[in-house]
Amino acid sequence: MKLNIIKQRTLWWGVSVATIIIGFLAMLLSWQQFGAPLRPSLDFVGGTRLQLELVCARTESCDGPIDPAQVREILATEGLEGSSLQVVGDQQNALSIRTTTLDVEQREALLQTLEAELGDIDPTLIQIDTVGPTLGRQIFISGLTALGAAFLGIMLYLSFRFQTDYAAFAIIAILHDVLITLGFFAIMGLAFGVEADSLFIVALLTIAGFSVNDTVVIYDRVRETIRTNPGDHINDIIDAAVNQTLTRSINTTFTTVLSLVAIFLFGGETLKYFALALIVGFIAGAYSSIFVASTLLAFWRERTGNAYVKAAPPEDAEPPTDPSVPTI
């Protein structure tokens, strides 16, 4: 298999731009609905989430599934009409309720009413998350700062290891991956109510750190090819480098995605969408390394009149020979 990376670059770029535009549209739509580009979890806006399971659920002795209408009524009597509510669990005997931030007394009152109406709640299966609105902002800001710091750090490192234009296009590729993941989750939020929580920011950071790996592998090969074939046009060099490293770009992402698929399938509710975000971001990362970062670099070098690079003579490309090791 040989890909015409450079020749078909308008196609590759088109796919990326179209995907990102669709994502932006979804984020705009989200903005209208939630006042944020993605459906925000209580980590960022504050609130209380209660997840509870009835005692009868584990012994399968419940009278039947929980009726959401009944729960909604209970919430209304507690003055919590705007809350969102989901009946979950295999037998529909578990509840997930998200309300505005409740203090201890309000929460206990709600739990007592729920117990009185629905039956006993298993205290060992309860999960309570309460985040004050001010803390939500704090989490959000520190998340964004971390993202910015990571971008800066990676940019500096790559400028130090490669040239500045390499680093700039690697950063564009990372931005590409982050935007695609954001767009994907904007759609997920609109269509399936998937929320972006603080783990989502962690996912974005991990994507930034990992997706640049493939780009680095290709750049490494570009640099090597320039050294060994100094007279070649940058387009040919990039074409060769990408094709030579294609299997490893795909396989490194594939092995990582394999372990993420395991988390997605078996890791439970908390980690499910975290794994999904990473899967989407990593696949976008492989795509952007192969098709975007490399072609942009070639395009830029051609435009700025640097298509032919005067390269340094090849450094010692051979491994040093260990005299104690016999050569076969």
What residues from 243 to 282 belong to the interface with other proteins (CB under 8 A)?
244-245, 247-248, 251-252, 254-263, 265-268, 270-271, 274-275, 278
Nearer Cβ to other proteins (84/270): 270
Cα dihedral 34, 40, 42, 43, rounded to 10, equals -150
Stretch that binds other proteins, among 81-89, 150-158, 231-239, 291-299 (CB under 8 A): 150-158
Give yes or no for a contact between 96 and 86, defined as CB atoms under 8 angstroms apart: yes
Q: Least distance (Å) from other proteins to the CB of residue 211? A: 9
216 binds other proteins (CB under 8 A): yes
Provide the greatest CA pair distance for the chain. Answer: 84
Stretch that binds other proteins, among 20-28, 175-183, 226-234, 312-320 (CB under 8 A): 312-320
Stretch that binds other proteins, among 62-70, 71-79, 145-153, 292-300 (CB under 8 A): 145-153
Helix (H) / strand (E) containing 111: helix 104-118
240 binds other proteins (CB under 8 A): no
Nearer Cβ to other proteins (113/256): 256
Give yes or no for a contact between 20 and 176, defined as CB atoms under 8 angstroms apart: yes
Three-state DSSP at 197 gives: coil
Select the residue interacting with other proteins from 63, 126, 137, 229 (CB under 8 A): 126
Give yes or no for a contact between 42 and 98, defined as CB atoms under 8 angstroms apart: yes
Q: Least distance (Å) from other proteins to the CB of residue 17? A: 25
Nearer Cβ to other proteins (22/55): 55
User: Which of 143, 160, 208, 144 is CA-nearest to residue 181?
Assistant: 208
Q: Least distance (Å) from other proteins to the CB of residue 306? A: 22
Q: What angle do CA 45, 49, 50 make, to 5 degrees?
A: 175
128 binds other proteins (CB under 8 A): yes
Neighbours of 213 (CB within 10 A): 17
